Amino acid sequence: IALEKNISVKIGSVLTSDTFYQDDPNSWKHWANYGILAVEMETAALYTLAAKFKVNALSVLTVSDSLVTREETTSEERQKTFNQMVEVALELAE
């Protein structure tokens, strides 16, 4: 669905963390060595609840900031890309 809309897609492993800010700002490098593409905070809880209630779950993520380059998206960019993600997720759920 995303590719049909010319939206860039990456498929791979993501680290779920319970902390927003790490003590070591370079801790991502350790996980990158294992092929981790991103860090986020919600997917583990989503999958845990899905397993508990025996339902399917899928995490569709949009990158907002880069730990590698330290680039951050503007609020306007976030709004546009997050809207695209929501459209893809809604079509996927149909």
Specify the CATH number for the domain of residue 29.
Answer: 3.40.50.1580
Q: 92 is written with which tokens?
A: 């996927």
Q: Which range of residues forms the domain containing residue 20?
A: 3-93
Please list the pLDDT of the chain residue by residue as tens digits (94 residues).
889 989 888 899 998 888 777 788 788 888 899 999 888 889 999 999 999 999 999 888 888 877 778 888 888 888 877 888 888 989 988 8
Domain count of the chain? 1
Q: Is 18 one of the annotated active-site residues of the chain?
A: no
Q: 54 is written with which tokens?
A: 């025996």
Report whether 80 contacts 7 (CB < 8 A).
no
* Res 17: pLDDT: 85
CA atoms within 13 A on the CB side of 17: 13
Catalytically annotated residue among 18, 23, 24, 65 = 65
Three-state SS at 21? coil
Q: Global pTM?
A: 0.67
